[in-house]
Amino acid sequence: MLRQAWWTVSALMVFTLLIAAHAPARAADAEIDKILRSPVGKDWVTNGGNLTNNRYSTLKQVDTTNVGKLKGAWMTRLKGSGTGGKYSFEASPLVKDGIMYVVTGNDDVFALNAKTGEIVWEYRSGIDQTISTICCGWVSRGLAMGEGQIYVGQLDANVVALDMKTGKVAWKTPIEKWQNGYGITSAPLYYDGVIYTGMTGGEFGVRGRLTALNAKTGEIMWRWYTLPAPGEKGSETWPPGTDHSMRGGAPIWNTPAIDPELGLVYFAVGNCGPDYDGSMREGDNLFCASLVALKAKTGEYAWHFQQVHHDIWDYDAASPVVLFDTVINGEPRKGIA
């Protein structure tokens, strides 16, 4: 009897494990996941609108018949944040459930009532005002949202997670040291429990990379370097015996895109360093000025397309990648621009 009971329990355990193994994986944040995969409606939860970065809204309230009648509804002062001459404002606000989230050039984040402009909460970055390794002005290009948190990459090379309801810091992870030329200006990308962020600093001898972090804890999951170490794919496009892999630039300063069906994350890589003088870096210089695709879960290399070989004109991509579906010769195709 005991043997029969043991076999019955064992069989149930095996059956349960088999069901769990073959059950479809649930997204870490199912609501945000659905919005990210869909055409954009009333909520704008990522910098590019959705995972494709196409910035297209399906809303129809504003059209050619009434656009000329639009006027301001409210104006809010963000308590002087990012108003000095050294700051720029390039960030798209995020909107969810009637709350608008904005970030200034000082990496301060504000949550506003979208109907009234009233400040709900604010986060002050306390960023070191003596930072000197910033090439193109003090700027943040936006935020990410997921897991009940708002994510911001800072000029001091930290990624910070804030509670969406209170603005309190949930975690703060240093990606590098700004004293070594690194910073973050791009809006992070959230998807399925992971935060993806690039880095700036191509003019300051950095080693570019895409970093993936656990969205809940801030733990670094993996890094993929845009400058290959000796012996790695692409290293043959640099002069042998040099330290290009540690200081050749190739930053990522725009937000990536993701195709969930293919499981790939795509991004544009910036200029080499030095950008206008290629005399010390003969060759094509991968992965500078390139489009790159990695496996989103692991960071494993998938493919690349170099837009400018041996770039000495600073002709790296100036906008985030955009994904699209189309039909060519009657066949559905996926594209990237």
Calpha distance 255→259 (Å, rounded): 14
Find out whether 224 and 299 touch, Cβ atoms under 8 Å: yes
Single out the residue of 211, 310, 202 nearest to residue 250, CA to CA: 202
**How far, in Å, CA of 87 to CA of 193, rounded?**
32
The active-site residue, picked from 43, 163, 259, 314, is: 314
Residue among 272, 267, 148, 133 at smallest CA distance from 215: 148
DSSP 274: S
Specify burial of residue 239 (Cβ count, 10 A radius: 0-12, 13-18, 19+): exposed
314 as an active site residue: the answer is yes
Taking the C-alpha atoms of residue 83 and residue 104, their distance in angstroms, rounded to an integer, is 9
Q: Which of 90, 58, 78, 149 is nearest to 118 (CA)?
A: 78
Q: Quick check: 243 and 318 in contact, CB under 8 A?
A: no
For 219, the token pair is 């733990």
Angle 108-58-188 (CA atoms, 0-180°, nearest 5)?
30
Q: State how far the alpha carbon of 264 is from the alpha carbons of 11, 290, 301, in Å.
A: 38, 16, 10
Q: Mind telling me the catalytic residues?
A: 314
